[in-house]
Amino acid sequence: MIKKGKRGKNYSVSDHIFAITVVSFMCLAIISFPFLLFYAVMHLISLTTDVRIHSLGTFSSLKIILTFFITTVVTTGMVDTIFSIILKRSKGMFGFLSEALLMLAFFYLYVLVYSLVSDDIVMTDKGRLYVSFFLFLMYVSIHLVYIGAKRLYELITRHAS
């Protein structure tokens, strides 16, 4: 069964299956890579005496860190949106630095509250500092990747036309 596209090209069922498979793997990679990085760093931090993850095995540890990851992503998304709306007037480096300092304070408070509420992840003061700095570095790296991708997109579209 062959379908004709808009420009007269023939697309078979195999072409559609291949495209769906490639897009599915891309989506899986986009979602899983940040979590695997998060899991690896949290596991390394938990090797110190300052952070303890109370798990019975790898699967239990994965579940605990996945819960922490999802909660962190949702909460950070909401708080970042609120901070962006509040700081909309301040542009440039001052706006970025003020938002970054607010987010660093938020990450420390978030990790403090999460460690007090959760029985699965127990942290000392130093451990809270480690985890909050790690979350802050992930937050800043997202902005750096966005800036790099935006410049790459502009470079590609400029040369394409």
- Give the tens place of pLDDT for each residue, 21-55: 999 999 888 888 889 999 999 999 989 899 998 88
What pLDDT does 56 receive? 86
What pLDDT does 92 receive? 74
What pLDDT does 11 receive? 80
Answer for the pair 43, 61: CB distance below 8 angstroms, yes or no.
yes
Instruction: Please report, as a single letter, which amino acid is at residue 74.
Output: V
Length reported for the chain: 161
Helix (H) / strand (E) containing 3: strand 2-4
What pLDDT does 84 receive? 81
| Calpha distance 117→71 (Å, rounded) | 13
Q: Is 85 exposed, middle or buried (0-12, 13-18, 19+ CB in 10 A)?
A: exposed
The stretch 82-108 carries a mean pLDDT of 83
Give me the helices (H) in the chain, please. Answer: 13-46, 58-86, 92-117, 125-160
The stretch 49-76 carries a mean pLDDT of 90
In the predicted structure, residue 17 carries a pLDDT above the cut 80: yes
Which of 112, 118, 26, 107 shows the shortest CA–CA distance to 63?
A: 118
